[in-house]
Structure 1
């Protein structure tokens, strides 16, 4: 199977695109740095016992006042910025991946139901999707987070804040998947293999999930890849606004918000380096999504 992949059109397209290769390398380095942060990070930035306020606001190591122990400098609490970025990227990626999985699952389920059932179910589900599409995704996420904050005590909200952010971002993005899957399902349900499955008595749920679903997953994978970058960016936006993950689990957006308070006082590195890491992560994922969209489009081959 692996040999077939390396002999296939997808791998050939990947190896012929320098921008895609560079994007894959950047994304791989950032993702591995985040996943392996507990093993390779120079410091644990969230271990309060190891923090020293005397090390606060140290510039990057190449500066005359820098320290080699802190390659990218430190923040206002003396935390190593490189380690904080690696740990922060873990939170951003966790939220982004889980939100995309949630929105993909919900959108695919709704799209398959609407496209295969048709009639009233199709009309109701698609009107719900149309109504949600009229609101910006970030506004929907802010609304859900605000409702949860108002409904739950602060202590409880802090404990489940990560799950609330994942749910809020996931719920705000499902209509894109639903509309795409619904359109593909409308085409697939009238094909001969679906008609044959109906004739021999296979149940509708089995037809949908065993026969229709595998044939509509191509566009879903492309949208999911592109939405990973959007989900990471949405989480960073929420955290920058102070309504994302709690301060005990800071993400890249939280680090940027903290650094923004000191940007004009000369400590530029506190916000610039987390911002660069966020830009590189989102840009590399989006470029990979653009390549995957073109590579899976038979009209562009």
Structure 2
């Protein structure tokens, strides 16, 4: 892309209704800044974090339970204090957020791919195919998402050896969360596809002999992706919370790769003994991250709704 084309593309973005809506909402701007700051800090944790909390050579048990810097006994090396192993809480939050965000993004991408595919096929094919796929979706909705994730993780733990499960635990978690969150994508895409398949451009594509698969993926899919992006943004917060819940219950990522949920579970053991910072700060980071993502999702849903313009 040439420099002129890039400038023209940026000018179109800044002149769009979406950008106008974004800049007119201070809450959305702040949420976006917080989300970008947290995602950026987590992505570049090896360079941003004051310490590497998983480098055993740098840990000192004498630093365990050091309070935050503003409390009596605080240490400037550990702004938010340390945990029971002497690890810097700020550093563990940054490294833990990397895992939480990675699992969240990948599980939403998996759920979106599966749900969009099922929704396209069900909406375009109709008839018995649509009935079977939608009944499967209805059955899935009768089970809570967290229960399905626990069931998938339990089956994998029973089938695979412990060493192998620990190596692929993150991918099992991604699959478990993704397989429990595909229905909203499928239902939305199915409804949009049933509307789009009766329009003139789809009929014209049929007349010239294009295959159903090409019509679905090349013509129908681009016209139904708007609501899908909104759902994906909202589902990201749910996926991060689901990962934290599973890790808190001890069925998420292994202890050698703790996420925010694992850090909260570890700190919960010391909450009532006075070392509150071990669980409060990871919990606050998780809450702020999910809140900022959800606020962005709510704004995007309203901004892309033509009835609210």
1:113 corresponds in structure 2 to: 121
| Residue number among 191, 196, 205 corresponding to 1:188 in the alignment | 196
Task: Write the distance in 1 (CA, Å) between the matches of 2:271 and 2:66.
Answer: 14
Task: Write the distance in 1 (CA, Å) between the matches of 2:97 and 2:38.
Answer: 8
Shift in Å, 1:254: 0.2
Task: Write the distance in 2 (CA, Å) between the matches of 1:167 and 1:137.
Answer: 12
Number of equivalent positions: 301
SS at match of 1:173: coil
2:97 corresponds in structure 1 to: 89
2:245 corresponds in structure 1 to: 237
Shift in Å, 1:203: 1.1
1:144 corresponds in structure 2 to: 152
SS at match of 1:58: coil
Q: In the alignment, is residue 59 of structure 1 matched against residue 59 of structure 2?
A: no
Q: In the alignment, is residue 253 of structure 1 matched against residue 264 of structure 2?
A: no
Q: In the alignment, is residue 68 of structure 1 matched against residue 82 of structure 2?
A: no
| Residue number among 205, 210, 213 corresponding to 1:205 in the alignment | 213
Task: Write the distance in 2 (CA, Å) between the matches of 1:29 and 1:114.
Answer: 40
1:266 corresponds in structure 2 to: 274
2:56 corresponds in structure 1 to: 48
| TM-score after normalising by structure 1 | 0.99
Gap runs ≥5 in structure 2: 1-8
Shift in Å, 1:64: 1.7
Which stretch shows the higher mean deviation, 195-204 or 223-232? Answer: 195-204
1:16 corresponds in structure 2 to: 24
Shift in Å, 1:2: 1.8
Gap runs ≥5 in structure 1: none
Shift in Å, 1:271: 0.2
Shift in Å, 1:123: 0.5
Task: Write the distance in 2 (CA, Å) between the matches of 1:233 and 1:97.
Answer: 12
Task: Write the distance in 2 (CA, Å) between the matches of 1:150 and 1:205.
Answer: 38
CA RMSD of aligned residues (A): 0.5
Shift in Å, 1:100: 0.3
| TM-score after normalising by structure 2 | 0.97
1:99 corresponds in structure 2 to: 107
Shift in Å, 1:200: 1.0
Shift in Å, 1:60: 0.2
